[in-house]
């Protein structure tokens, strides 16, 4: 299925959970999509758009649902997979980046040796919301000496303007809400 046709598939397989994790937030639950092999496969293929085997050295997945989507994207592209996690979760020496949240801040980390200098890196996540985590991921890849060749997401929440924080990155969203 071409990635241009994925909006109806995504809408049919991603459910809204109101007031999760707090009142006023509508959580985008991708577990029904993950449970549907044809839909999951089509989404993985769509996330690789513009990239083929040999064009990417590493795929970065953002905790936690970016792991689920990023790992099969890496396999499809013949690339390594690199997790970016919440602070304190990785066992070896790390690089960290902090970013602002609506109330406070958070930090994400990547193993310091996960990306070789000069590597071409595709970042994958499930939802682009405010862009804070995405910007932190871009900075981590750049600090490690890698080049971000793209940022692919299942869904972009346009009303939160996350794209603005990633204006210097080739952003590909399978659907925009």
According to the model, what pLDDT value does residue 4 have?
A: 61
Q: Please choose, from the candidates 137, 124, 133, 134, the residue with its C-alpha nearest in 3D space to the C-alpha of residue 47.
A: 124
Q: Does 109 qualify as catalytic in the annotation?
A: no
At residue 175, the pLDDT reads 97
What's the CA gap between 95 and 113, in Å, rounded? 9
Alpha helices in the chain (DSSP H): 6-13, 31-34, 37-47, 65-77, 132-143
pLDDT in tens, 141-173: 999 999 999 999 999 999 999 999 999 999 999
Check if 65 is active-site. yes
For the chain, give every domain's residue range: 52-176
Half-sphere CA count of 59, side-chain side, radius 13 A: 29
pLDDT value of residue 128: 96
Q: Nearest-CA neighbor of 140 among 79, 171, 99?
A: 99
Which pLDDT belongs to residue 100? 87
Catalytic residue among 15, 85, 102, 135: 102
- In this prediction, the residues of the chain whose per-residue pLDDT falls under 50 are 1-3
So what's the pLDDT on residue 1? 37
CA distance 121 to 138: 9
- Exactly one of 65, 85, 120, 135 is catalytic; which is it? 65
Q: Could you tell me if 10 and 69 are in contact, meaning their C-beta atoms sit under 8 angstroms apart?
A: no
- Report how far residue 106's alpha carbon sits from residue 123's, in angstroms, rounded to the nearest whole number: 19
Can you give the pTM of this predicted structure?
A: 0.95
Helices (H) and strands (E) in the chain, counts: 5, 9
pLDDT of residue 5: 83
The CATH-assigned architecture of domain 52-176 is 3-Layer(aba) Sandwich (3.40)
């Amino acid at each position: 299925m071409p990635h241009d046709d994925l909006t109806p598939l995504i809408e049919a397989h991603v459910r809204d959970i109101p007031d999760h994790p707090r009142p006023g937030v509508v959580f985008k639950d991708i577990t029904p999509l993950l449970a549907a092999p044809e839909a999951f496969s089509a989404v993985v293929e769509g996330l690789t758009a513009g990239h083929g085997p040999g064009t990417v050295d590493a795929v970065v997945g953002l905790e936690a649902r970016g792991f689920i989507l990023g790992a099969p994207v890496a396999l499809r592209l013949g690339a390594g997979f690199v997790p970016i996690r919440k602070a304190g979760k990785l066992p070896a020496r790390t690089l960290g980046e902090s970013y602002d949240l609506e109330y406070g801040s958070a930090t994400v980390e990547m193993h310091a040796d996960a990306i070789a200098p000069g590597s071409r890196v595709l970042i994958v996540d499930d939802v682009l919301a405010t862009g804070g985590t995405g910007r932190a991921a871009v900075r981590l890849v750049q600090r490690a000496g890698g080049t971000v060749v793209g940022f692919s997401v299942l869904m972009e929440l346009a009303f939160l303007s996350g794209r603005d924080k990633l204006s210097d990155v080739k952003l590909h969203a399978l659907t925009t809400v």
